[in-house]
């Protein structure tokens, strides 16, 4: 089916195909087509009331629902749903005494929100002060589903019909169909699909049955695939390269992914890349790619779930939309993307709940679902992934789902690297090499200041662009030399023959000409250090994320227990301490470090509560750490 007609993140392609081919009554499609055809004469000036009376409610009757209009929602200051959907008249009558209570919605088959014909369901409306209900309609329905005990929500403007499954953690699970174009052009398949999904029978039987069939089939596939992957990873003990097997396993599920980084990595190691043409298993829903890959390639197969709203909550200073969308978040263990996607979906949803700082404010980029998510991914989220194949899977998943890669996601080991403060503390950086030269401390300060100025300059003003280009040349030189120094310092933990005196000479020659610095790069000990750095994924945060030179992260996430099948397992407690030690260095004073955990973590909590440097707040499946304020 043409992608412009159908948007689907709920069911696999095979389920959609099966449901769309299910026969329906002979009079259903003609009746739906007649309703839409008759509405064409008034659609240009149709209000929400016109859309409701002349199109949506007649369609609901054809779809088999009993309904009640304008049911009172149990939460004040929130727009009520437009329609409550029931399976029968008896259900509606029996529920009426509970009208306006949470229990009322527990007896519904679903709720429906409608907008005027053609109204964009993914964008807010500008031009006046936006109350809660006038922002992105899709998130409005998600909010009602979060609060009410009802499994399904339908959002429609008469032409587009969107079905949303009750979210577990703000994530999207939806099907959206453009009904006008296919029906009026005589196409039957989209009409059958619409009826079989959005009808009472679809919500009660067709979709639940399809989801259960997918679940059972996928479990069987994953169990077989898991065995083969675990068997392949035992080759690691024999020092056999396992990446080809892992790549084949990944490609057998998602053969269209472009694994450019892994391909390059394997070619560099002299590994022959095989062309894989395995057909995609029909049961696989690409929407679930991150969770599927996490199950296949990680030892800890438990689904990581967390309440983002609880984690970021502030009692004394509620967030405005500007506050929330200015946060910088680091994921130290993004893995195959399931945590990253929860963060992105969660932040997009939570931004919908927050008011603007000033009334009569409207940022169009923040009131459009697609552009909002790209903004969050490109401005707010940072990540460091240690595995090549997982990094590829992560970027592919983000691109397919949100239309853009993670701009601030890097390949490297977040636990193996140092900060500029380590350099300052390691040597006497107050000494000068010459009468007119700068001390290393002054050079580091200049490095920070140059980046501050660089980021403050506009990319659109001609004069600023010219200055940016000039600064960028200096920054590139400084950055490369500082990386050489930091790689060499870190390599001393892996090799004993790298003398600190040699590194000190580099530190005090930071401002030397390129020819002089080239003599360092020709030294065998620095070549060895750089090879160690490449092999172990040395990652120096401030160089990769220069925003840290003058600031820190507001939130840092880590999964201490996450180990890939081909890695040696590290005790979760020891891993947690390593992530805390490294993460706290790059956390703002009022920031939060979040450990995503699985299982019983009482012992870890008791240990962390003894710390004199931070406070700990437990949550369901996570611990939140705060830096203590100096007395």
Residues of the chain with CATH 3.40.50.150: 308-412+545-627
Residue 267 pLDDT > 60: no
pLDDT for the residue 495:
86
pLDDT for the residue 164:
97
pLDDT for the residue 255:
67
Q: For the residues 576-584, what does the mean pLDDT come to?
A: 94
Q: What whole-number distance in Å separates Cα of residue 344 and Cα of residue 381? A: 8
Going by C-alpha positions, the residue among 139, 56, 150, 156 that lies closest to residue 106 is: 150
Q: For the residues 276-300, what does the mean pLDDT come to?
A: 76
For the domain spanning 6-198, the CATH number is 3.90.1570.30
Judge contact between 133 and 149, C-beta under 8 A: no
The CATH class of 308-412+545-627 is alpha beta
pLDDT for the residue 243:
63
Partner residues linked to 110 by β-bridges? 85
pLDDT for the residue 103:
92
Residue 436 pLDDT > 70: no
Q: How confident is the model at residue 476 (pLDDT cuts 50, 70, 90)?
A: very high
Lowest mean pLDDT segment, chosen from 17-21, 144-148, 242-246, 312-316: 242-246
pLDDT for the residue 134:
75
pLDDT for the residue 429:
57
pLDDT for the residue 270:
42
pLDDT for the residue 293:
86
The pLDDT > 90 percentage for the chain reads: 59
Q: How confident is the model at residue 266 (pLDDT cuts 50, 70, 90)?
A: very low
Neighbours of 52 (CB within 10 A): 23
Going by C-alpha positions, the residue among 220, 195, 276, 146 that lies closest to residue 22 is: 195
Residue 498 pLDDT > 60: yes
Judge contact between 190 and 5, C-beta under 8 A: yes
DSSP 312-372: H--SSSPPPHHHHTT--EEES--TTSHHHHHHHHHHHHHHHHSPPSSTT---GGGGBHHHH
pLDDT for the residue 203:
96
Q: What whole-number distance in Å separates Cα of residue 157 and Cα of residue 52? A: 9
Residue 125 pLDDT > 80: yes
Judge contact between 32 and 195, C-beta under 8 A: yes
Hey, is 622 helix, strand or coil? strand
Residue of higher predicted confidence among 259 and 555: 555
Phi and psi angles of residue 153, each rounded to the nearest 5 degrees, phi first: -130, 140
**Mean of the per-residue pLDDT values for the chain?**
87
Phi and psi angles of residue 266, each rounded to the nearest 5 degrees, phi first: -70, -40
Residue of higher predicted confidence among 244 and 358: 358
Q: How confident is the model at residue 568 (pLDDT cuts 50, 70, 90)?
A: confident
Q: What is the pTM of this model?
A: 0.90
Lowest mean pLDDT segment, chosen from 239-243, 392-396, 511-515, 573-577: 239-243
Residues of the chain with CATH 3.90.1570.30: 6-198
Q: How confident is the model at residue 68 (pLDDT cuts 50, 70, 90)?
A: very high
């Amino acid at each position: 089916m043409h992608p412009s007609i159908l948007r689907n993140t709920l069911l696999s392609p095979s389920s959609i195909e099966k449901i769309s081919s299910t026969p329906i009554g002979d009079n259903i499609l003609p009746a739906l087509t007649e309703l839409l055809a008759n509405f064409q004469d008034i659609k240009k000036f149709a209000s929400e009331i016109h859309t409701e009376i002349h199109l949506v409610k007649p369609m609901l009757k054809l779809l088999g629902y009993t309904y009640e209009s304008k049911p009172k929602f149990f939460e004040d200051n929130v727009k009520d749903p437009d329609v409550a959907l029931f399976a029968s008249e008896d259900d509606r009558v029996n529920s009426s005494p509970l009208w306006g209570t949470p229990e009322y919605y527990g007896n519904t088959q679903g709720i429906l929100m409608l907008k005027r014909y053609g109204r964009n369901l993914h964008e807010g409306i500008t031009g006046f002060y936006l109350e809660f209900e006038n922002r992105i309609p899709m998130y409005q329905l998600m909010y009602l589903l979060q609060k009410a005990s009802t499994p399904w929500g339908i959002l429609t403007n008469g032409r587009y019909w969107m079905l949303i499954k009750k979210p577990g953690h703000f994530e999207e699970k939806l099907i959206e169909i453009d009904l006008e174009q296919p029906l009026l052009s005589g196409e039957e398949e989209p009409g059958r699909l619409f009826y079989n999904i959005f009808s009472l029978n679809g919500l009660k039987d067709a979709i639940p049955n399809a989801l259960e069939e997918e679940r059972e089939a996928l479990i069987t596939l994953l169990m077989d695939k898991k065995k083969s992957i675990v068997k392949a990873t035992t080759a690691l003990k024999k020092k056999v390269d396992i990446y080809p097997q892992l790549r084949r396993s990944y490609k057998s599920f998602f053969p269209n992914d472009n694994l450019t980084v892994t391909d390059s990595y394997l070619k560099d190691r002299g590994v022959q890349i095989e062309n894989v043409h395995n057909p995609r298993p029909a049961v696989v829903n690409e929407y679930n790619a991150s969770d599927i890959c996490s199950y296949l390639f990680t030892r800890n197969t438990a689904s990581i779930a967390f309440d983002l709203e609880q984690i970021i909550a502030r009692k004394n200073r509620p967030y405005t939309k500007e506050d929330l969308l200015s946060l910088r978040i680091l994921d130290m263990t993004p893995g195959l993307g399931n945590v990253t996607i929860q963060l992105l979906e969660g932040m997009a949803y939570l931004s919908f709940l927050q008011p603007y700082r000033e009334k009569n404010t409207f940022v169009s980029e923040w009131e459009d679902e697609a552009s909002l998510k790209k903004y969050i991914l490109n401005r707010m989220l940072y990540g460091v992934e240690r595995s090549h194949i997982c990094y590829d899977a992560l970027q592919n998943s983000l691109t397919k789902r949100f239309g853009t890669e993670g701009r601030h996601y890097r390949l490297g080991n977040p636990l193996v690297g140092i900060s500029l403060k380590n350099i300052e503390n390691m040597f006497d950086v107050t000494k000068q090499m010459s009468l007119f030269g700068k001390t290393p401390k002054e050079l580091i300060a200049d490095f920070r200041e140059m980046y501050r100025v660089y980021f403050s300059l506009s990319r659109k003003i001609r004069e600023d662009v010219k200055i940016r280009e000039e600064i960028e040349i200096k920054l590139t030189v400084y950055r490369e030399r500082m990386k050489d120094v930091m790689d060499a310092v870190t390599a001393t933990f892996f090799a004993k023959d790298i003398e600190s005196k040699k590194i000190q000479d580099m530190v005090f020659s930071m401002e030397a000409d390129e020819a002089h610095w080239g003599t360092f790069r020709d030294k065998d000990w620095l070549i060895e250090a750089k090879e160690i750095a490449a092999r172990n994924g040395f990652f120096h945060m401030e160089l990769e994320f220069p925003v840290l030179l003058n600031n820190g992260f507001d939130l840092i996430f880590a999964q201490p227990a996450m180990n890939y099948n081909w890695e040696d397992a590290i005790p979760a407690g020891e891993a947690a301490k390593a992530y805390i030690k490294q993460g706290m260095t790059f956390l703002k004073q009022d920031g939060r470090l979040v450990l995503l955990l699985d299982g019983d973590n009482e012992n870890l909590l008791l240990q962390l509560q003894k710390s004199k440097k931070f406070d700990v707040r437990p949550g369901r499946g996570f611990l939140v750490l705060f830096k203590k304020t100096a007395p």
